[in-house]
Amino acid sequence: MSVSRDWAERGTVRDLLLANTRLPHLMLGDMSAQFTANRTGAIRLEALARRYGRQTILETVEALLDYSELRTRAAIRSIPAGCYVGEEWLELDPLSSEPAHIVATVQVRDGELEVDFSGTSEQVAGPINSPLASTMSAVYAAVRVFLRDRSIPYNDGCTRPLQITVPLGSILNPRFPAAVRARMNASYRAHGAVARALGQALPERAQAPGYDSASMVTLSFCLPDGSYEIFQDMVMGGGTGARPSHDGVDAVGGPMTSSRNTPAEAAELDFGFLRVIRTELAPDSGGAGRHRGGLGVRRDYEILRDGVIYGGFTARGRFPADGVNSGRAGGTGGMWVIRDGKTIELPSTARFVLQRGDILSTIAAGGGGYGDPSERERSLVERDLREGKISPEGARIFGMAVQEEPRQT
């Protein structure tokens, strides 16, 4: 039976789901694509079983899992044994007055690694709680960065040496039901806390924190016939943190997502209520250091209709990415509305009704710097200044005096 073909036909479950979304044609396409992908996987697995036999397939899978576990345990043994603690902070939405505190205690011992998030803040009312599965994925991603052997086949065998404890009812393991739509920022802070802890064990592999966040812009507009147009843009990434030997990378997604850049032309062609008027690197957003943090991205949207509704979330507005070893923190991110020459700052999670002529401005934060800024090579400061990545004022942080050109009047 073809699951994807059945889904495309009318049915009670299909109609129920489509009746509860403002964009049924898009949901139908998304769900059909997912069912088709799953069916394709099933067909190919069946073909393997017919070719090699069911028992051979099962034995091969188990052997591969055991092989990855064996190599992962060996890689963990290269991390000095001990107990390490990493902490992160996350700004919350208007429903919560205090920031969330993320605490990761990492215990390393003879081929095993335990991560305990006891002490982490409780779940919140807003939609930024991280389900347990997302939190565990964040831990796996952070640990893999610190394993010296990068060729280990990645599968569930890699997770066997890891024990993860996340208190039920915390922001990293909320009780059902909990709002989790903007879960990625809490997940990223879990990733960051584990990375900070392991960075103490392996300082030569430590990296300054980066943007390591998710920011989303959703603009919806109700047409006269009652239907909706909805534009959704995962804001182009920020900067990664600098490393002991390299600058951070500009304008990329975080370690648990892919990098994307919605073309301005495509957005404007599909949605008549907005215009993308700016997409650029944000100067001075990378933290100063011997190695500079990566730069974040600024993107501005001009609103062309009254009644466009913004709904979205961002991060790093209150807690920028720290510098490491005397490096400076990266620039902060956020979202603003510019209306009649005045700037309205939006909370990290917000809903706002826009007017024609408004400018919705978004900035993804930069990464932290590594090392003393005064130790940065002059030629690199000159290059960054020439390319517009730092301003004359920013160059002075590196100890370079720059004569600013007189302004035109």
pLDDT tens string 24-80:
888 888 888 998 999 999 999 999 999 999 999 999 999 999 999 999 999 999 999
pLDDT tens string 141-164:
999 999 988 899 999 999 999 999
Do residues 154 and 95 both lie within one domain? yes
**Rounded Cα gap, residues 349 and 205, in angstroms:** 33
Do residues 374 and 259 both lie within one domain? yes
Do residues 241 and 384 both lie within one domain? yes
Average pLDDT, stretch 208-220?
Answer: 91
Asked whether residue 360 is domain-assigned, the answer is yes
Q: Which of 186, 206, 226 is the last residue of a domain?
A: 206
The pLDDT, as a whole number, for residue 159 is 96
The pLDDT, as a whole number, for residue 404 is 56
Asked whether residue 288 is domain-assigned, the answer is yes
Res 327 pLDDT > 80: yes
Range of the domain at 115: 73-206
Q: Are 83 and 106 in contact (CB under 8 A)?
A: yes
Do residues 298 and 190 both lie within one domain? no
The pLDDT, as a whole number, for residue 3 is 45
Do residues 212 and 202 both lie within one domain? no
Q: Which of 160, 180, 206 is the last residue of a domain?
A: 206
Asked whether residue 340 is domain-assigned, the answer is yes
pLDDT tens string 266-318:
999 999 999 999 999 999 999 999 999 999 999 999 999 999 999 988 889 88
Split at pLDDT 50, 70, 90, the class of 127 is confident
Q: C-alpha distances in angstroms, 361 versus 217, 298, 344?
A: 10, 7, 10
Q: Which of 206, 235, 257 is the last residue of a domain?
A: 206
Domain count along the chain: 2
Res 325 pLDDT > 60: yes
pLDDT tens string 385-405:
999 999 999 999 987 766 555
User: Is the link from the previous residue into 177 a cis peptide, with omega within 30 of 0?
Assistant: yes
Q: Which residues of 249-279 are buried (b: 16+ CB within 10 A; e: fewer)?
A: bbbbbbbbbeeeebebeebbeebebbebeeb
Do residues 319 and 355 both lie within one domain? yes
Write down the pTM of the prediction: 0.87
Q: Are 71 and 78 in contact (CB under 8 A)?
A: no
**Residue 215: both structure tokens together:** 């920011």
Residues 6+ apart with CB under 8 A from 281: 250, 251, 295, 296, 297, 298, 388, 389
Asked whether residue 243 is domain-assigned, the answer is yes
The pLDDT, as a whole number, for residue 91 is 86
Do residues 87 and 215 both lie within one domain? no
**Rounded Cα gap, residues 138 and 101, in angstroms:** 16
Q: Of all residues in the chain, what percent carry a pLDDT higher than 90?
A: 71
Do residues 303 and 383 both lie within one domain? yes
Q: Which residues of 83-107 are buried (b: 16+ CB within 10 A; e: fewer)?
A: ebebbbebbbbeebeeebbbbbbbe
The pLDDT, as a whole number, for residue 303 is 97
Average pLDDT over all residues of the chain:
90
Do residues 157 and 296 both lie within one domain? no
**Torsion angle of C-alpha atoms 8, 181, 140, 259, degrees rounded to 10:** 80
Asked whether residue 402 is domain-assigned, the answer is yes
> Which of 6-10, 225-229, 327-331, 402-406 ranks highest by mean pLDDT?
327-331
Do residues 223 and 327 both lie within one domain? yes
Do residues 372 and 295 both lie within one domain? yes
Split at pLDDT 50, 70, 90, the class of 255 is confident
Do residues 196 and 236 both lie within one domain? no
Q: Are 44 and 38 in contact (CB under 8 A)?
A: no
The pLDDT, as a whole number, for residue 28 is 87
Asked whether residue 102 is domain-assigned, the answer is yes
Asked whether residue 384 is domain-assigned, the answer is yes
Res 17 pLDDT > 90: no
Asked whether residue 301 is domain-assigned, the answer is yes
Average pLDDT, stretch 218-243?
Answer: 88
Strand order, beta sheet including 297-303: 274-281, 297-303, 359-363, 334-339, 342-345
The pLDDT, as a whole number, for residue 253 is 81
